[in-house]
Chain A
Amino acid sequence: MPRLLRYGSFSVVASVLGASYYYYAVASPLYTEAEWHRVSQRTAALIDRRIDIPVPESTTERREYVVRSSKETMKDIWNEQIRSIVDWIYSWSH
């Protein structure tokens, strides 16, 4: 490869990389909106105890339990699916 071409390609790659870095990180820090940056910041904050994982509220009040057999639940799911399929087929004529 001629020396001029080598220098030219090097300068093109270097200027593209430099411009990319400038616009991504310095001029307007777009990386702060990236998901990887958010995940990394959240992990660091968790380790430094600046934030916490929210804990669901627990209560000692009385609760209502619904006890049903698995068979009845499966019947309901089956019937719902059958109904939705039939509705879908009937929707072809509308």
Chain B
Amino acid sequence: MSGQLEVSAPSRSILNDKWDVVLSNLVVKTGLGFGAGVFASVLFFKRRAFPVWLGVGFGLGRGYAEGDAIFRSHAGLRAVRA
């Protein structure tokens, strides 16, 4: 019979914390890009669609770049002083 092992360990791992930051930042930056695109489209481009797609693209790209920087950083890693 397979036993269930209950350990009083913290429920969240470091991967989830990083993913939480990266995904929320991606959503925020994409939303900002979308908003800026709508703003530019209405004010300057006679409600054409391409500024919105451009803004969304900028937002996604910035979110990806910052997420990449966070995943490459040492944030959240356990450090030991020797």
Residues of A within 8 A of B (CB): 36, 39-40, 42-44, 46-47, 49, 52-56, 58, 63, 65-71, 73
Contact = CB atoms under 8 A, between A and B. Distances in A.
A interface: dominant SS: mixed
Contact of A56 (B5, B10, B18): B10
B2 A43 contact: no
Nearest to A51: B75
B36 to A, nearest CB: 13
11 contacts: A39-B25, A40-B25, A43-B70, A53-B21, A53-B76, A55-B76, A55-B77, A68-B3, A69-B1, A69-B2, A69-B4
Interface of B: 1-10, 14, 17-18, 21, 24-25, 28-29, 31-32, 66, 69-70, 73-78
Contacts, number: 65
Contact of B21 (A36, A43, A71): A43
